[in-house]
Amino acid sequence: MTAGGSSWVQVPEGSHFPVQNLPYGVFARPGQAPRVGVAIGGHVLDLAGLAAAGLLEHPGWFAAPALNAFMAAGPAAWHPARARITELLTDPRHRARVEPHLVPRAAVELRLPFEVADYVDFYSSRDHASTVGQIFRPGSPPLPRNWLHLPAGYHGRAGSVVVSGTPVIRPHGQLLTAGAAAPAFGPTQRLDFEAEVGFAVGVGSPQGEPVPAGEFARHAFGFMLVNDWSARDIQSWETQPLGPFLGKSFATSLSPWVVPVAALAAARVPPPRQDPPPLPYLDCAQPWGLDLSLQIMLNGHVVASPPFRTMYWTPPQQLAHATAGGAPLRTGDLFASGTVSGPGPAERGCLLEMTWDGTRPLRLPDGATRAYLEDGDVVRITATAPGAGGVTIGFGSVEGRVAAAG
């Protein structure tokens, strides 16, 4: 049985990549240069090959090691390309010419899909922020005073963004252990994951010109999964007064497939009610909550299923706030949501929350326990969403194995 809609490509039941999805990525065959492709079922459709065969326009967009040139071309290029790829995969008359450009996904190496220009990580889940506040500020209001007024965030390190599957080396930094009079330098003992969803900017903007929330779809190319690895002990010592630095800058993992904004039209839902009402520059008339269902696995065991639809601050509001002071957008800018968490214990998106900062260790089905991550642990995050025509589409996965400190 297949779940490929009207596509002539055989798509296995439960695949994240029916024809209603068509996420973009970069792949390489052994011994060949990387190029742009689209995921369909268990295959990658070689867009560079299609363009060379005259089946797609603008071969320079696709015979490239990154998506940036295509991303920069904007909606006037994205929409026709998506329509043409859909036509090639659904009209049986094209099968004979297109099928030779289908490559089994197991036969290729997936690369980082785009060159990251800048990276911003937000703090957009009210449930996550509230739980963190309860952990670190018991007896006080859980949310900082500004949290309900703006999408808080910090600037990350673009050069540390890596594709799914890249080992994550346990980082070193300054640590202040309980009862110590002074910090020491060494590997983190409280390594954590953060399940997040990010979006990539395609079309940039001039410096000094804020981008209104209503223009989100003119700039945003697509969405992907993010794991914002965190060294909690390094982070807690260095954060005062300027925020995360070494505790966050060592690695951020990205899923290899970028789901186009157009593929998520059926997943859009009204976001949670915002009270107090946001300032006018954050107004967003369109419903830009996304009904995404995340799943977090630790060493093959499902440990949480956070819902993205409960996120308080939406992607258009994040973009509007990031540019409100005049900061320009650049092709390849990455914006991540912050930890995705829901109100229940089974919906928490990081070990900090799950284990109450290590004081309530998590027990896995095999009997092992974890306060924080140990060397050799593997974290895998997946997500699905409603797609056109009632099908389910997905994001693939973002995965990383913890490697011992060097």
Check 16, 43, 101, 128 and give the catalytic one.
128
Q: Are 95 and 33 in contact (CB under 8 A)?
A: no
Query: Is 101 annotated as catalytic?
Result: no
Tokens 């409603």 locate to 386
Give the HSE-up count for residue 353: Cα atoms under 13 Å, Cβ half-sphere. Answer: 27
Phi, psi torsion values for 377, nearest 5 degrees: -65, 145
The three-state (H, E, C) secondary structure of the chain, written as one string: CECCCCCCCCCECCCCCCCCCCCEEEEECCCCCCEEEEEECCEEEEHHHHHHCCCCCCHHHHCCCCCHHHHHCCHHHHHHHHHHHHHHHHCHHHHHHHHHHEEEHHHCEEECCCCCCCEEEECCCHHHHHHHHHHHCCCCCCCCCCCCCCCCEEECCHHHEEECCCCEECCEEEECCCCCCCCEEEECCCEECCEEEEEEECCCCCCCCCCCHHHHHHHEEEEEEEECCEEHHHHHHHCCCCCCCCCCCCCEEECCCEEEHHHHHHHEECCCCCCCCCCHHHCCCCCCEECCEEEEEECCEEEECCEHHHCCCCHHHHHHHHHCCCCCCCCCCEEECCCCCCCCHHHCCCHHHHCCCCCCCEECCCCCEECCCCCCCEEEEEEEEECHHHCEEEEEEEEEEEECCC
Q: Encode burial over 123-141: b for 16+ CB neighbours within 10 A, e otherwise.
A: bbbbbbbbbbbeeeeeeee
Active site residues: 128
